[in-house]
Structure 1
Amino acid sequence: MKDLAPRDFVSRCMDQEIKEGRGCGPKKNYINLDMTHLGAETIALRLPSVFEIGHNFANVDITKEPIPVIPTNHYQMGGIPSNINGEVVMTGRSGTQEVVNGLYAVGECACVSVHGANRLGTNSLLDIVVFGRAAGLHIIEFNNKNKEHKPLPANAADISMERLNRLNTATTGEYAQNVAGDMRDIMQQHASVFRTQASMDEGVVKIAQLRQRVTDIKLTDKSQIFNTERIEALEVENMIEVAQSTMVSAAARHECRGAHSVMDYDRPADDPTCPLGRDDVNWLKHTMWDKATNSLSYKPVVLKPLTVASVPPKIRTF
C-alpha cells in the first residue's frame, strides 16, 4: 500500500502546472491523468467507475488514452458541529458546547474534527464507519432512556413550507441553473486552490450579492411529482449557505492551513522553523458560521484524544 499525497498538495501541483503554461489542450487549461500503464484488466477490475466517468464525460477510453483533469471542489472540510457520538452540538449562551437532543450528523455533512484542515484519501470512509456506528449505538441508548419524545412546536415545519411555497408561487425571477453557474464561477475564481486576500475579499462581496438572487428563483415546472427543477432550486438554496460560509470564513483566516493556501502569507523571516504561512498562535481554532446573523465566531481545537497520548501539530514540510 503506497502512501497517498494529500489532496491539497496534489491540487496545488496540478494548478501550478496549468498556471505556468504547461497545461494540455488548445487552451492549455487542464492536465492529463494517464492510467494506461495499469492495463485494461486492472482498470476493469479496480476502477470501473473511473472508466465510466472517462467515457461519459470526456469521451475517452482510459485504457488507451489519458483523462483531461483539473482541480475542483471534492470534499468540504467543515460541516455541522458534532461530538464523538454523532450528536449535533451548538454554542450555548454561556459559551459552552451544548448537545441538540435527538439531532445527529455523521459523514461528510458533519465536522467532528478528525481530519484537521485537510483530509487524506479514503479516510472519509473510515470516518463514516466509525461515527456512523457510534451514532447508531448512542441513538439506541438514548431511546431506551427516553421512551417518549417531547412535543414538536407548532411551527416546526414553517421554514421548510415557506421555501416550497415561495417557489410554487413565484412568477418572476431567475432560473436555478443560471444562479448555480454564477456561484460556481465565483467560487472557482475567488476560493480555488491558490488564494489571495484581495481575491477572497472580492468573493465575499460577490457571494453576498448572489445570495439576493437566490431568493428570486422561479420554476417553469410546478408539478408535484418527481419535479427535478424544484430539487435543483432547493439545492441551490442549500449551496449558497455553504458557499457563503466558506468564502467569509476563508477571507477572515489570515494564514495558510491545510487546503487553505493563501499566497499573501509566508514563513516569518525571523523563524525558519515555522510552518509555511501557518499561524498556530492565532489561528489554531475552528471557524463557526452563524447563518442567522451572518457572523463568525471561533472555538478551540480539541487536541487531547480520549484513549491515546496527544499528538500536537507538527511542521509540514511540503
Structure 2
Amino acid sequence: MLTFDVLVIGSGGAGMRAALEAVRQQGLSVGLMTKMFPTRSATGCAQGGINGSLKNADPNDSIEKHIFDTVKGSDYLGDQDAIEYFIASLPDAIRELDYLGVPFSRDSEGRIAQRNFGGASSPRTCFSADVTGHVILHALYEQCLKHGVTVLAEWYLLQIVTDKGKLCGVVAYDMKGGRIVPVAAKAIVVATGGAGRMYWLRTTNPFTSTGDGIAACLEAGIPVKDPEFVQFHPTGLAGTGILMSEASRGEGGYLLNNQGERFMSRYAPEKMELATRDLVSQAIETEIKEGRGFGEGLQAYVELDLRHLGQEKIMERLPQIRELAITFEQVDPIHQPIPIRPSCHYSMGGIDVIDYRTCATAVEGVFAAGEAACISIHGANRLGGNSLADIVAFGKFAGQGAANCAARRQAVNTEAALQAATAWEARFETVTNRSTGVTVNSVRDRLAEIMWNNVGVFRTAAEMEAALTVVDSLLQEYQTVMVPDKNKLYNTAFVNYIELGSMLTVAKTVVLGALNRKESRGSHCRADFPNRDDANFLKHTLVSKEGQAYNIAYRPVVITNYPPAERKY
C-alpha cells in the first residue's frame, strides 16, 4: 500500500498548483496522481489567457470592476463572497506565475500584456500569444519536480474511500504496472477537470475529460453543485469541435452569417463579439436555426473572420489558431474565414466546495479545485480568462487546506482502503470475464447523441425528460458492459469502462439539475421558460446520491454588494 500525507488527483493547472503548495508546507509527503503525462492535461487547451486587474492596459481598471464583471457574467448565481476573495488574489497569483518562468507576452514598456475578453469592462486578460495554458502547465510541472512531488503517471482513480465521514484514501488502477492499488492519504485534492466528453459529438475537451473525480466524490457522499450549467464555447471548429480561442475575438475577429452580417449586433449591440459566451453561443445557434448559417444539421456553422487583422498580427498573437484551422479545416485565416459552431467547453458545476478559503468539502480530508470543483465563482456562466485564474488561485488554496488538514490528522483507517481494493479486484474479474453484453462504444455514443441533441445550448422539458429516460436506460445497460481484455497491463478497455461509468453518473446530475431548474439563466437556456426567475431559482442546485437514488436540494446564493439586475451587453 502506498501512503501519502497529501495526494493530489489530476495534473492540470489546479492539481499541480495544489501539489506545489502542499509540498512547500511542513515537509509533507505529496503525491500527484494523473491519468496522463502531467503536461498533457486539458489546461493546455486553455489558449487565450488569465484574468487579473494589473492595470497594464487600462489604468482605470480595478479589483471592484473585475468582481462586478464576474458577478454579472455569472448571471448573479455566483457567490459574491467567494468571488471577492478570488478576484482580490489574482494580481499576486499572476505575478507569481511570472516569477516561476511563465513567458507572458509583453507590451511596449515590458509589462505583462493584457487583451480584451468577453464580458470584461477592461482589457485584463494576461496572455502568452495563444498558448497560455500550455506554458503555465510546463512552468508548474518544473516546479513540482524541483520540490520533490512524487508523480504517479497513468494512474486512474477508481474510488475515494471513506470511513464514518472521513477520508481514508483512494483505490487506483496503475495502468503501467498492471495492478489495482490502495493508497492511504490523510488529505486529497480532487482536481480531475470536467466531464465534457459526455458531449462526445462536439466538445473542445480532450478524451480524458470524463468527470472521474466528480463521480467519485458523488459516490463518496459529496454533492454535486449546479451541474446543469454547462458552458458551450461559441467558437469550436465546425467539423471537430476543437477550440478556436476567445483570443481570436479579443484581438478583433468578427462573427458572420451567410449574409455577411456581423449578427451579434442583434443580440449584444454594445459588446458585439465580446459578449459573454452563453449569449454568443445562443446567438450562433439562433442564426443557424433561422436559416442564416452555412451547411445543414450537425455540420451547420457560421464564420469567424480574422482576415482584416492582417498577417503580422495573426502570426504574432494567434499562431496556434492559424495552425489548428489549417490542420483541421484546411482553412488559412489570413485569407479565409474559419467555419465555427458552439462546442461543449466547461462545467460551471462540480464537486460542492463548502469553504472557498480552503476548498474543503463535506467529507473531512477531501478538497477540490479547478473545473472539477464548484466553488460558486462562475455561477451560471464563466467569463473567458477566469478559468486559468481559478486554477492557480484555488489550486493554491486547496494545497494549503489539504496540507493543514494532513498535519492535523492522525493515522487513517488503512483497512478500509484495502477492502475497497479487494472489491475492485473482483469487479475487474467480473467485467473482463463476460462473454456477452454491450460495448463501451455503443453506450458512450448514445449518451453523446442524447446529451447534444436534448441537453445542449437550448433545452425543453420534453427533450430533457426523454434524455433522462435514455440516461437511466444506459445506466442499466452499463451493468452489462463487457471489457474484452483480461490483461491488467495497459488495459485501455478497462479504463474506457471506468470513464463511461463516470460520464453516465455526471450526465444524470446534469439532466436532473436542468429539468428541475424552470428558468433560463446563463448557459442554461430553456425555450419553455425563457426568462430568469430570481424569485424561485436564485439558488444553487445540489444533487446527492444514496445507493442508486439521486436526490435534489437547494442552497441560497450569497449576495453581498451586487443585487441581481438585468444583464445587458
The TM-score with structure 1 as length reference comes to 0.83
Task: Work out which structure has the larger RCO, using CA pairs closer than 8 Å and 6 or more positions apart in sequence.
Answer: 2
Distance in 1 (alpha carbons) for counterparts of 2:528 and 2:567 = 18
Amino acid at match of 2:349: G
**Match among 181, 196, 201 for residue 460 of structure 2:** 196
> Quick one: which of 134, 142, 145 aligns to 2:405?
142
Residue 310 in structure 1 maps to residue 561 in structure 2: yes
Equivalent residue, structure 2, for 1:122: 385
Q: Paired residue for 2:38?
A: none
SS of the aligned residue for 2:303 comes to: strand
Partner of 1:131: 394
Q: What amino acid sits opposite 1:76 in the alignment?
A: S
Conserved? CA contact 1:86–1:135, under 8 Å: yes
Shift of 1:297: 2.2
Q: Is the 1:285–1:298 Cα contact (8 Å) retained in structure 2?
A: no
Q: Which letter does structure 2 place at the counterpart of 1:125?
A: L
What is the SS of the residue equivalent to 2:499?
A: helix
Which residue matches 2:116?
2
2:533 matched to which residue of 1? 279
Indicate if the aligned counterparts of 1:249 and 1:296 stay in contact, CA closer than 8 A. Answer: no
1:214 counterpart residue number: 478
Counterparts of 1:315 and 1:26 in 2: how far apart (Å)?
Answer: 34
Quote the residue 1:95 is aligned against: none
The two structures, once aligned, show a CA RMSD in angstroms of 2.3
Q: Is the 8 A contact 2:117 2:384 kept in 1?
A: no
Secondary structure of the structure 1 residue equivalent to 2:281: helix
- Look up the SS of the partner of 2:366 in the other structure: strand
Sort the Cα spacing of 1:138 and 1:113 in 2 relative to 1 into closer, same or farther, 3 A. same
Secondary structure at 1:74 match in 2: strand
Whether the 8 Å CA contact 2:350–2:373 is kept in 1: the answer is yes
The match for 2:335 is 64
Rate the CA distance shift 1:17–1:222 in 2: closer, same or farther, 3 A: farther
What is the alpha-carbon distance in structure 2 between the residues aligned to residue 162 and residue 113 of structure 1? 38
Q: What letter is aligned with 1:209?
A: S
| 2:352 maps to 1:88 | no
Q: Which letter maps to 2:322?
A: F
The 1-side partners of 2:331 and 2:429 are apart by: 44
Secondary structure at 2:514's aligned position in 1? helix
Q: 1:296 to 1:36 in 2, by over 3 A?
A: farther
Cα 1:296–1:167 change in 2 (3 A) is: same
Paired residues for 1:1-318 under 5 Å: 1-4=115-118, 5-25=275-295, 29-82=300-353, 83-84=355-356, 85-89=358-362, 100-153=363-416, 154-157=418-421, 160-161=424-425, 163-266=427-530, 277-292=531-546, 293-304=548-559, 309-317=560-568
After TM superposition, the runs of 4+ consecutive aligned structure 1 residues lying more than 6 A away are: none
Find the residue that maps to 2:469 and give its secondary structure. Answer: helix
For 2:368 and 2:527, how far apart are their aligned partners in 1?
34
User: Higher strand fraction: Structure 1 or Structure 2?
Assistant: 2
For 2:466 and 2:506, how far apart are their aligned partners in 1?
17
Question: Cα distance, 1:103 vs. partner?
Answer: 1.1
Q: Per the alignment, do residues 263 and 37 of structure 1 end up closer, same or farther by CA in structure 2, a change over 3 Å counting?
A: same
Structure 1 gaps, min length 5: 90-99, 267-276
Percent identical residues = 36
Q: Deviations over 1:172-219 (max 9, x none)?
A: 122222221111110111111111122112211122112222222223
Gaps of 5+ in 2: 1-114, 119-274
Q: Work out the CA distance in 1 between the residues paired with 2:413 and 2:561.
A: 39
Q: Distance in 2 between matches of 1:136 and 1:265?
A: 41
Code of the aligned partner of 1:50: I
Per-residue deviation, 1:51: 3.2
Q: Distance in 2 between matches of 1:88 and 1:166?
A: 33
Following superposition, the deviation at residue 135 of structure 1 comes to 1.0
Shift in CA distance, 212/288, structure 1 to aligned 2, threshold 3 Å = same
**What CA distance in whole angstroms lies between the structure 1 residues aligned with 2:373 and 2:533?**
25
Higher mean alpha-carbon deviation, 26-35 vs 169-178, is at 26-35
Measure how far apart 1:34 and its partner are.
Answer: 2.2
CA distance in 2, matches of 1:256, 1:158: 46
Cα distance in 2 for partners of 1:134, 1:252 equals 32
SS of the residue 2:431 aligns to:
helix
Deviation for aligned residue 1:40: 4.0
1:118 deviates by: 0.9
- Residue 287 of structure 1 and its aligned partner are, at CA, apart by 1.4
Q: Distance in 2 between matches of 1:141 and 1:315?
A: 42
More moved, 168-177 vs 188-197: 168-177
Distance 1:56 1:224 in 2: 36
Deviates more, 1:50-59 or 1:181-190: 50-59
Distance 2:529 2:481 in 1: 39
Determine the C-alpha separation between the residues in 2 that align with 1:44 and 1:159: 54
- Give the aligned residue type for 2:561: S
